[in-house]
Amino acid sequence: MPSATIDHAQDAIVGGHPDSRPRLAKPLTYAGTLDSFQQFDVTPVIGREFSGLHLRDLLKGSDEQMRDLALTISQRGVVFLRGQGDATPMEMKDFMLRLTEASGCPASSDLHVHPLTEEGSELGDQVSVISSAKQKKGGGLTHQLSDVSRFASTGWHSDITFEKVPSDYAMLKIHTLPPTGGDTLWASGYEIYDRLSPPMKAFLETLTATHDASFFHDEAERLGNPLRKDKRGSPLNQGGDLRAVHPLIRTNPVTGWKSVYVNKGFTKRINDVTKDESDVLLAYLFNLVTQNHDAQVRFKWSAGDLAIWDNRSTFHCATYDYSADRAGDRVCSLGEAPYLDLNSKSRREALGL
Ligand SMILES: O=C(O)CCC(=O)C(=O)O
Ligand SMILES: [Fe+2]
């Protein structure tokens, strides 16, 4: 597949696609509409938990409030809303459309339809059911049926980065839980970028990587449902080629901050370097995510809790340490085709840390 070396001399914006540009002229600024809600930062680097903030009220609220929430999610990486047991999958979809719209997604971006979603599925094409019953059938990112690593950290990923237009935000609500276990972890891509030395940052900014989910073809065959080749939320996400080339460092248009954009789940190759160089660099970058628990947050769910995260600047990993049922619903919106603005800043730089 074609790989595009980034030419620094050409332009400050590299990557992206003319049909999938963010509609924000500059990063969002916070208007203060969430200040009255109880909230705390779960770690210094990532995560904010709110209480008393309800999806249904947010849906009735102003666009300004929706923008403030989008900015908070994008800055903190992931936001947790406890006690959303009454939120329906339809409300989750409506909410995600409002959120992605408020944060300036391209007009061509809609909610994602996962390539493995069965046509005519109960909750509609745009809701993915996350369940331990499904997981027991094997497959997925942890490839339980094949002879691969059994490290719990094998599952670290960002959602659907194999799409030409991947996700900006995702929402997961867990409604069924084992008595203990089943926590989810998130890690900050901004912080991983900030852990690199200046020469390494500069080098990685010249590179692109190939993200590949071709293994979903085998999966579709094994599960007996045809792979979804129709439009998966963007005219650029169609057909059976589940591969995409993205800049290795991307700018989040909502915050204006740079993030490392390779993940253990889908990124197979750094382009234009040798395979050995690619393997070493990818292993190093994945290790930065899995070995630095001070760049991570671990969330212990109660039934009805909901998480919303920014897939452009975070990674996440489920924990399979339970045997009782665990299930929930996930909705994923599409943002812009990833790009790097060479003039954008790192999170620590922007916050003066
Ligand atoms: O089940 C979980 O904890 C996370 C599942 C996941 O990767 C997702 O919802 O995108
Ligand atoms: Fe995921």
319 Cα nearest atom in ligand 1: 3
Confidence label for 144 from pLDDT (cuts 50, 70 and 90)? low
Cα 338 to Cα 204: distance, rounded to the nearest angstrom: 15
If you measure from the C-alpha of residue 152 to the centroid of ligand 2, how many angstroms do you get, rounded to a whole number?
14
Residues with Cβ < 8 Å from 220, sequence gap 6 or more?
Answer: 115, 116, 226, 227
| Residue among 156, 160, 172 to mutate when testing ligand 1 (max atoms within 8 A of CB) | 172
The rounded percent of the chain whose pLDDT value lies above 70 is 95
Rounded mean pLDDT of 82-109? 96
CA 233 from centre of chain:
15
pLDDT digits (tens, 9 = 90+) for 329-341: 999 999 999 999 9
CA 34 from centre of chain:
23
The number of CA neighbours under 13 Å toward the Cβ of 15 is: 27
183 Cα nearest atom in ligand 1: 3
| Residue among 311, 316, 326 to mutate when testing ligand 1 (max atoms within 8 A of CB) | 316
- Say if ligand 1 is within 6 A of residue 184 CB: yes
Tokens, residue 159: 């959602």
Cα distances from 101 to residues 72, 87, 162, 352, in angstroms, run: 15, 20, 22, 29
**The pLDDT value given to residue 2:** 42
Rounded mean pLDDT of 106-123? 90
- Ligand (nearest to CA of 174): 1
Rounded mean pLDDT of 80-98? 96
Kindly report the protein residue whose alpha carbon is nearest to atom 3 of ligand 1: 318
pTM, 2 dp? 0.95
Cα 347 to Cα 353: distance, rounded to the nearest angstrom: 8
Cα distances from 251 to residues 15, 109, 115, 287, 333, in angstroms, run: 10, 18, 26, 21, 18
C-beta of residue 251 within 8 angstroms of C-beta of residue 339 = yes
Q: Is the pLDDT of residue 4 over 70?
A: no
Strand locations in 160-295, DSSP E? 167-176, 184-188, 208-212, 243-247, 249-251, 258-260, 267-270
CATH topology of domain 10-351: Double-stranded beta-helix (3.60.130)
pLDDT digits (tens, 9 = 90+) for 279-326: 999 999 999 999 999 999 999 999 999 999 999 999 999 999 999 999
Give the lowest-confidence range in 19-33, 57-71, 76-90, 129-143.
129-143
pLDDT digits (tens, 9 = 90+) for 216-246: 999 888 888 899 999 999 999 999 999 999 9
318 Cα nearest atom in ligand 1: 3
C-beta of residue 162 within 8 angstroms of C-beta of residue 241 = no
**The pLDDT value given to residue 9:** 44
Angle of CA points 269, 275, 276, to nearest 5°: 120
